[in-house]
Structures are given as structure tokens and as C-alpha cells.
Copies of this chain bind each other. A is one copy, B any other.
């Protein structure tokens, strides 16, 4: 049983004439005749009544033509669906960012992306690194944007930019006197950090642990913004990634930011995707745009 056979049948139903139906379907009349006979044999039912002057559908034939039409409609819809998705830069692209990047990166790049890839439907998600990687591997999302390095198994990645860490201090904190800060300067100060699961927490700890900074024991921020508020309230200091510094959410009152002395500790931010992805073209384009946007603004 073949889709073409049903095309022939429907054409015959429309024209009531073998020759015209054949012309309509761009085959010879014997072909249509034979194929229709084959279909009738296969179904074990007479579909049309051949009459000297024209052809009339059987009762069963009529019922079957209804279904056949629906089938052909579906097939056309499939073709249309495929045609609309032929453009590799169209369709949905599911992209997840970690919480310490998303809110600060997106405002800087979304406008450019929309302009460069207007047909790309970006679906944005926010997950911490571990669940993000899990969803990525399972195919629930197409791209992850996170701190590199990413585990190499089945994944590819591309660095988008590096961002230095900065030190966020209460306005009247002694360290505000310095224009640049060295890691050792942090010794003895109380460090406020994000809760477990945020990679930024681990990165900050790695910077500070070498010089013996002690972490505030009874506090774990759930987001960078609350962390920022706590620092402004004078409860301690923290490290902020560069992109998060200028984000003008709420007021910056009570908060001072100082850069590290070169070479400043930094993290690499990149995009990660499956080797086997079908959206490589769109992803590469996306990476180019984001990289360009960040380096241009910095």
C-alpha cells in the first residue's frame, strides 16, 4: 500500500475518469489503471464501478477516499513542516544558562541575536551546571552556557569570553582604600558565598582558599543579587564576576567594587552542546554573535 496509490484514487474520485485522473497525477492511463487495480486487489474490495461513460465510486470507495484525502493532507503538512524548517537558522533552539551568567549576559546579547537570527526561536532556561549538563546530554536542551571547562564526554564547547572576578565590598570597608586588590589582601575578611551547586561558589572558594579567607558559616545566598544586598548591608565581602558588576538591578548604594591586580583571577565562560546535535550551524552562529557582543562592549 503506497501513498501514490491513494493519490491516484483521489484523482479518480475527483475526475470520474481514468485518463483525466492519470493526466492530473502525471502518469499514463495504463499505469493509473494498473495501480488502482492493485490497490483494489490488496484491499480485497472494488473501489470504483467502471461504467462506459464515466466512473463512479463504490460505497466503500467513497469511505476510503475520505480517509485517503486526510492522509494526503497529512503528508502535505509534513512536507510544509519540513520546508519551513529547512533553514538551519530557524526553528526552536533551547538554550540554558547558569544563574550567575544568565541575568547578566542575556541583556547584553539578546537584541543582537534577534537581529542576526530573526527566525531562530530561542527558548531560555536557567539551571545550575550539573542539572544543565544532564538535560543537555538527554537532549532536552540544545546548548548550555556555563563556566568552562565542560566534561568532554559526547560534548563540544566553545569559549565565549573570559571574565575577571572582582571584589565587592561594603562602601566603608578598609579594602576600598586600594585601587587594585591582591588575593592575599582578602585574608582575615569574612566571605559571603552562594549556596551549594553554584559553580561560582567553587570558583570563589578556589581563589580564596589558598590565602585562608574564612567563609561566613551561617549564610548561603540563593542568588547573586541577594549576595550583593548582603555585602551592601555590611555583612561581609564577596567575589563578583565582571559581567555582574554593572548590572543595574536595584541600587548600588552601599556597595564598592574593586578589581584584582593583574593577573586577575578569572573564569572562562563558554557554550556547550552535544557532538551529535543537529543544530550545529545555528549554535556556531550564536556563539559568534555572543562573543562579538561581549568583547565589543567590554
Contact = CB atoms under 8 A, between A and B. Distances in A.
A92 interface: yes
Interface in A78-109: 78-79, 81-83, 85-86, 91-92
B277 A49 contact: yes
A74 B71 CA distance: 6
Contact of A74 (B44, B46, B67): B67
A1 B44 CA distance: 24
A23 interface: no
Contacts of A63: 81
Interface residues on A, range: 35 or more
A139 B59 contact: no
A228 interface: no
A154 B51 contact: yes
A75 interface: yes
A280 B78 CA distance: 41
Contact of A274 (B51, B82, B277): B51
Given A49-B278, A154-B52, A68 B78 contact: yes
A133 to B, nearest CB: 15
Contacts of A70: 70, 74
A75 B82 CA distance: 22
B139 A82 contact: no
Contact of A79 (B43, B51, B56, B79): B43
Given A49-B274, A52-B154, A60 B85 contact: yes
A139 B71 contact: no
Interface in A115-140: 139
A178 interface: no
A139 B81 CA distance: 40
Interface string A185-214: 000000000000000000000000000000
A289 interface: no
Given A64-B81, A68-B74, A71-B74, 7 more contacts: A1-B75, A45-B85, A51-B154, A52-B154, A58-B278, A59-B91, A74-B74
A-B residue pairs, 10 tightest by C-beta: A43-B82, A46-B278, A56-B139, A60-B85, A45-B82, A51-B276, A71-B74, A44-B86, A67-B74, A67-B78
Q: Which of A2, A64, A83 gathers the greatest number of chain B CB atoms within 10 Å?
A: A64
A237 B67 CA distance: 57
A77 B51 CA distance: 28
11 contacts: A43-B82, A44-B83, A45-B85, A45-B86, A49-B277, A51-B154, A51-B274, A58-B278, A67-B77, A68-B74, A74-B74
A134 to B, nearest CB: 14
